[in-house]
Structure 1
Amino acid sequence: MVKAMSAVPLYKQIVNDLMEKIDGGVFKEGDKLPTETDLMDQYDVSRITVRAAIKELEDADMVERTRGKGTFVTMKRDTYAADDRESFTHSCMLSGKKPSTKVLQAGWVYPSLKDMRFLGVREDENILQTRRLRLVDGVPTVLETNSYAPSLSFLDHEDLSGSLLEVLESHGVSLGSNERTLQVCFANGYEAENLNVETGAALLLFVDKRCDSEGQPIFLSRQVYCTERLKFYL
């Protein structure tokens, strides 16, 4: 049961409970979760609260929703390395293009489930998050959302309208391994507005889990690329 008087939001309590059941094997890969109505009855909460919890789990790739069928525990998929040897800024310059960056948002937020699992932060611990629009020759091309580990809190006072990697290196942060995943996604309203594409347009999503040279997680990056404007090589 959830605790109405807890400082932790109701939907977060449901997320934590379902996550424990998934990690503990109560719900296995491919299993169908209870319906929204069943979860409302089980936790004695509103439909809005249940949907917020499911959305959080979906964003963390722990569940998948299938229209007309329900919500299922995500099946593990094979992943393939995508080349990340060049930064966005450097890649543009090598192609003779002019890169630029517009910082859309920068501030302190409560971490999502995905942030907590990678960065190792608590749900009540604020983290710095930025949203940046990357442009090529003035044309919106990439929408990037970064969540940073507490060790990078100094970025709150930095100019992030250029290369993030160069800023980190200037502070003595040595970059280490990066786990990158790649998949097709479809533009939501916010992405469509900023990338100047139609809602539902096919986009390419990169998710980077970057560590420092000592193997400590330093930031989680979600980058949505407009496929109409870029080609990739591996």
Structure 2
Amino acid sequence: MFETISVEVDARGVATLMLNRPEKHNAMSGEMLTELKAAAEQLAKDDSVRVVVLTGAGKSFCAGGDLGWMQKQRDLAPEARGKEARKLAEMLQALNTLPKPLIGRVQGNAFGGGVGMACVCDVTIGVDSLTMGLTETRLGLIPATIGPYVVARMGEGKARRVFMSARLFKAEEAAALDILSKVVPADALDAAVEAEIAPYLAVAPGAVARAKALTRTLGAPINDAVIDHTIGELVACWEGEEAREGIRAFFAKEKPSWT
């Protein structure tokens, strides 16, 4: 059914939603974003599903945006770029509003949009060897559509430590920034995820869904107006001289003028 992801549900009602482009380090293409949104919507409607585990196949959790997808965006008109940005925004919102517990099983590195996906999970467990980074500003872009979820997870103060610098950081710092809820060795990852799953199999699923929805109303709103604003900011960056230079230099394997 899906080409870039897989979905499996076990007898307990635990669904595993897996990014399945290991040869591309699970980089997000337009197709993957569409499929992830569709999968989230399907899982939301499936009453047999009690918990969803989000993970990646292979060595990386998610390397961010697919290079081919980015190259295509470079040549698009602003309106078309906005439509592509909306795919990412709508996918993240579908996961953020999923009326099931969403547990992140981060088995490898995560950059850009991959960090955004880690931040929409209710609990995110990562291996101690991973590296993360919000790397968009290296290209003259900004972490726009993922921004509301990153700031909601980390808080403004912590987000400002890594939101603009594009520097890479390891698992321990990701935990200190509240991106990761827990850091474990690779051979303990599955046991740690199971420990998070277990309590949800003993509580009322309707109450869980209502409680999760309540937490979202108590925090900063992530609504259509916020999403539209982030898309507008990203499109504006794409139209700027810095993005043109940064993306050209990236694909040419050259250094931009600000380096």
Per the shorter chain, which TM-score range? under 0.3
How does the TM-score come out when normalised to structure 2? 0.25
- The answer to which structure has the higher strand fraction is 1
Greater RCO, 1 or 2 (C-alpha within 8 Å, sep 6+):
2
